[in-house]
């Protein structure tokens, strides 16, 4: 008889899976000493009753931005008697209103209700900050805005917060903005930019040696000793470094590899488990991207995969050259896309917009396109799927069918 006790006592390579979660904050952050110091430098004035500088942090995903900031703020909290900082994930609090609400209710319990206008939060916060703590220290509020690029009306938010600083006679409020969009700074209003970016830190991607050490550290904490081969760690680090230097991805690989080892009951993580994990992780990643794609981008992708799989395609056209290269011309793909649209009972978008879709898909890495330099026509693009077309097609058709049943459209199956 299976019960929870037998499940829970199953042997496993894991000591503590939490250690491998992207939200885990380790005590020591390898190769981020300089960044930690810079953040501390920016925050430190708060401990001396001075206004901390605003700080802007950017770097690609998995470079430890959030982790480092959380680490520093944890240290900061040890030094303060009263709560002085808020962590706001802007993915959840994605407007000026929501951010202000979150800040407000963190410090003022009576604001923990809905229905107040933004000016109400503003006034209450002003009042709150201006009254010093019982020990006579002024209030030095630090707001950490993670994924700050998700805030729709960021310029207004930054403006509101900076104006707050100007209006109060004592105390202060500072911001730490975190984003992974490098180009993000450019779309910012110049005024917001100058106030938000008083000081800046760039987090560079990890290389394979650094990733290796990070992984080794987590392995020590998260896995049973002796279950993970050194070469497996190296491989996971190398794969992640080759991609983008994303530590989160590297950790995901290890987590999945561990699960595979448990499933196989081999309880040993070698290169092979990591390789398998890689396929698995990539697939689910691509699957996630595809599933969240807008309908028509999915349809374009179906058209591409469909044509790519259709071996006879270029033979019928008699274009042996393209058959060998197995590349598709953008015009043909558009025609196929229109056909697919008819089959799914949807009105095709214009060719102009279809080109825009192609660009989107390329940005996401789902397809690759090459400018046709020679051969056919002026400039046109050759299109290739970025991943296994068969696998993509499967995911695509699944998610199309799902959305069809949701919208109660009858599925035309003569595809």
Partner DNA sequence: CCTCCACAGGAAGCGCAGGAGT
Partner DNA sequence: ACTCCTGCGCTTCCTGTGGAGG
Binding stretches for DNA (CB under 7 A): 95, 97, 294, 296, 329-332, 334, 348-353, 355-356, 358-359, 374-381
Give the nearest distance from C-beta 141 to DNA in angstroms.
Answer: 23
Helix (H, G, I), strand (E, B), or coil: what is residue 14? strand
Nearer to DNA, 256 or 296 (CB): 296
Helix (H) or strand (E) holding 397: helix 389-406
- Taking the least distance from each CB to DNA, the nearer of 152 and 279 is 152
Nearer to DNA, 136 or 378 (CB): 378
Q: Is 382 helix (H, G, I), strand (E, B) or coil?
A: strand
Contact in structure between 326 and 313 (CB atoms under 8 Å): no
Q: How far is the CB of 76 from DNA (least distance, A)?
A: 32
Nearest approach in angstroms of CB 332 to DNA is 6
Rounded CA separation 167/138 (Å):
15
The token duo for 110 is: 């009576």
Residue 82 has a CB neighbour count (10 Å cut-off) of 11
Structure tokens that stand for 391 in this block: 């696998």
- How far apart are CB 114 and DNA at their closest, in Å? 13
Nearer to DNA, 100 or 261 (CB): 100
CA dihedral 386, 391, 397, 399 (to 10 degrees): -80
Give the shortest CB-274-to-DNA separation in angstroms.
38
CB of 359 to DNA, least distance (A): 6
Which CB, 187 or 209, lies closer to DNA? 187
Judged by beta carbon, residue 56 or residue 382, the one nearer DNA is 382
| DSSP code string of 322-381 | HHHHT-EEHHHHHHHHHHHHHHTT-PPPPHHHHHHHHHHHHHTTSEEEEE--SSSSSS-E
Residue 64: name the closest of 240, 230, 188, 220 by CA: 240
279 versus 355: smaller Cβ distance to DNA: 355
Smallest CA-to-CA distance from 77 within 85, 65, 69 is with 85
Contact 256, 69 (CB under 8 A): no
Angle, nearest 10°, between helix axes 230-243 and 271-291? 30
Minimum CB distance to DNA, residue 115 (Å): 13
- Closest distance to DNA from the beta carbon of 96 (Å): 8
Give burial (CB, 10 Å; 0-12/13-18/19+) of 378: exposed
| CA separation for the pair 264, 257 (Å, rounded) | 11
307 close to 328: Cβ distance less than 8 angstroms? yes
Task: Tell me whether residue 204 or residue 359 sits nearer to DNA (CB atom).
Answer: 359
Q: Can you say whether the dihedral through the CA atoms of 215, 86, 58, 50 is positive or negative?
A: negative
Nearer to DNA, 131 or 317 (CB): 317
* Shortest Å distance, C-beta 369 to DNA: 7
């Amino acid at each position: 008889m299976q019960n929870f006790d037998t499940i829970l006592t199953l042997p496993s390579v894991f000591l503590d899976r939490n250690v491998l979660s992207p939200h885990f904050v380790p005590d020591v952050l390898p190769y981020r000493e300089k960044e930690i110091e810079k953040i501390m430098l920016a925050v430190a004035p708060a401990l001396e009753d001075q206004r901390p500088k605003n700080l802007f942090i950017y770097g690609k995903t998995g470079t430890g931005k959030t982790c480092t900031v959380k680490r520093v703020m944890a240290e900061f909290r040890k030094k303060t008697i009263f709560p002085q900082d808020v962590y706001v994930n802007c993915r959840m609090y994605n407007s000026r209103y929501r951010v202000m609400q979150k800040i407000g209710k963190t410090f003022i319990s009576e604001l923990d209700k809905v229905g107040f206008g933004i000016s109400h939060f503003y006034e209450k916060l002003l009042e709150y900050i201006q009254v010093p703590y019982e020990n006579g220290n002024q209030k030095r509020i630090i707001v950490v805005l993670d994924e700050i690029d998700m805030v729709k009306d960021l310029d207004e938010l930054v403006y509101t917060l900076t104006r707050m600083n100007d209006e109060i006679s004592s105390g202060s409020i500072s911001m730490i903005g975190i984003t992974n969009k490098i180009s993000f700074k450019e779309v910012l209003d110049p005024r917001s930019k100058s106030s938000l970016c008083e000081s800046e830190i760039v987090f560079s991607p990890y290389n394979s040696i650094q990733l290796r050490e990070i992984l080794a550290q987590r392995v020590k904490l998260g896995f049973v000793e002796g279950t993970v081969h050194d070469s497996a760690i190296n491989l996971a680090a190398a794969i992640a470094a080759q991609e983008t230097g994303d530590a989160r991805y590297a950790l995901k690989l290890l987590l999945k590899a561990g699960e595979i080892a448990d499933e196989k009951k081999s309880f040993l993580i070698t290169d092979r488990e990591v390789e398998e994990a890689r396929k698995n992780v990539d697939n689910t990643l691509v699957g996630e991207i595809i599933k969240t794609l807008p309908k028509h981008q999915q349809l374009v992708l179906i058209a591409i995969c469909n044509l790519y799989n259709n071996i006879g395609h270029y033979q019928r056209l008699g274009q042996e050259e393209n058959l060998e290269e197995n590349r598709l011309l953008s015009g043909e793909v558009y025609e196929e896309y229109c056909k697919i649209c008819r089959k799914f009972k949807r009105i095709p978008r214009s060719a102009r917009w279809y080109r825009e879709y192609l660009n989107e898909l390329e940005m996401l890495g789902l397809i690759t396109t090459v400018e046709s330099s020679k051969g056919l026509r002026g400039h046109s693009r050759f299109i290739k799927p970025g991943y296994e077309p068969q696998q993509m097609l499967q995911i695509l058709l699944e998610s199309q069918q799902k959305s069809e049943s949701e919208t109660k459209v009858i599925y035309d199956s003569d595809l």
